[in-house]
């Protein structure tokens, strides 16, 4: 178990404030010491140790040498939540996305904790006939023992921020509206944003604008990358 970096900071600071030798602390020193105790004691009392681990979580761009570890993460996470066959399907999807998508049509981001990948997210280009610069978010996973600590939302926001800086105008996804609404996605109809295939669950078709403008209706057809070009996924 990693030590919380604040452990050292708080102990060193309180040692310093108590002073070396036997000199009595001044009023100002006591006030500062109390402030440190008020700030840090609730953290020591926190029974959820994951909260402390989360303090060292890092978000970064996916690198090709992450491929094997991230495929395993998706297989295991989806096996745990949806069963073995879904784990295998999502694992294959991730493998295909990584291996067959041109880098200009692909973004991946990872969350790491103590040099282990604990979360991953992929975005791939969605081409619209009207030229809207758009990507689809799919899939995303957070390792089962790190779920429900805000990591999934942080990973998504990190990815959206990076895409926005690259000039991406629109991001869509296809999943649980309850979860994705926490990070700015809203339900859209297939008439407003045409999906590449007819949807089996239209209520899961979600989008958000990265330009600050309202989502506008897009005319014409859309096309996804080869890895997603399978009606079973839709």
Ligand X SMILES: CC(C)(COP(=O)(O)OP(=O)(O)OC[C@H]1O[C@@H](n2cnc3c(N)ncnc32)[C@H](O)[C@@H]1OP(=O)(O)O)[C@@H](O)C(=O)NCCC(=O)NCCS
Which residues are at the interface with ligand X (CB under 6 A)?
77-78, 81, 138-142, 147-153, 175-176, 178-179
Q: State both tokens at 109.
A: 């981001």
Neighbours of 170 (CB within 10 A): 23
Residues 84, 88, 89, 90: is their CA dihedral positive or negative? positive
CB of 225 to ligand X, least distance (A): 16
Burial 99-137 (b: 16+ CB within 10 A, else e): eebeeebbbbbbbbbeeebbbbbbbbbbebeeebbbbbb
CB of 80 to ligand X, least distance (A): 7
For ligand X, the closer of residues 140 and 170 by Cβ is 140
For ligand X, the closer of residues 105 and 144 by Cβ is 144
CB of 71 to ligand X, least distance (A): 14
3-state SS, one letter per residue, for 163-231: HHHCCCCEEEEECCHHHHHHHCCEECCCCCCCCCCCCCCHHHEEEEECCCCCCCCCCCCEECCHHHCCH
CB of 176 to ligand X, least distance (A): 5
For ligand X, the closer of residues 17 and 52 by Cβ is 52
CB of 116 to ligand X, least distance (A): 15
Half-sphere exposure of 70 (CA within 13 A, CB side): 26
For ligand X, the closer of residues 151 and 206 by Cβ is 151
CB of 20 to ligand X, least distance (A): 44
For ligand X, the closer of residues 17 and 126 by Cβ is 126
- The residue number whose beta carbon is nearest to ligand X equals 152
Q: Are 149 and 176 in contact (CB under 8 A)?
A: no
For ligand X, the closer of residues 130 and 176 by Cβ is 176
Torsions phi, psi of 160, nearest 5? -65, -40
Residues in CB range of 127: below 8 A, 6 or more apart: 134, 222, 223, 224
């Amino acid at each position: 178990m990693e030590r919380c970096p604040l452990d050292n900071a708080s102990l060193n600071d309180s040692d310093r404030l108590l002073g070396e030798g036997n000199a009595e602390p001044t009023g100002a020193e006591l006030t500062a010491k109390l402030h440190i105790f008020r700030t840090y004691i609730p953290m020591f009392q926190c029974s959820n140790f994951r909260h402390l681990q989360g303090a060292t979580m890092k978000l970064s761009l996916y690198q090709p040498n992450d491929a094997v570890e991230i495929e395993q993460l998706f297989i295991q996470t989806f096996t745990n939540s949806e069963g073995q066959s879904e784990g295998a399907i999502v694992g294959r999807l991730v493998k295909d996305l990584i291996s067959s998508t041109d880098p200009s049509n692909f973004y991946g981001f990872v969350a790491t904790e103590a040099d282990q990948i604990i979360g991953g997210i992929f975005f791939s280009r969605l081409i619209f006939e009207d030229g809207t610069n758009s990507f689809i978010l799919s899939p995303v996973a957070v390792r089962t023992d790190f779920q429900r600590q805000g990591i999934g939302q942080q990973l998504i926001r990190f990815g959206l921020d990076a895409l926005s800086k690259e000039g991406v105008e629109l991001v869509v996804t296809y999943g649980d509206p309850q979860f994705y609404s926490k990070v700015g996605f809203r339900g859209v109809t297939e008439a407003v944003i045409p999906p590449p295939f007819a949807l089996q669950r239209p209520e899961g078709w979600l989008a958000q604008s990265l330009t600050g403008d309202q989502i506008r209706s897009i005319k014409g057809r859309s096309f996804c990358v080869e890895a997603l070009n399978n009606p079973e996924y839709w």
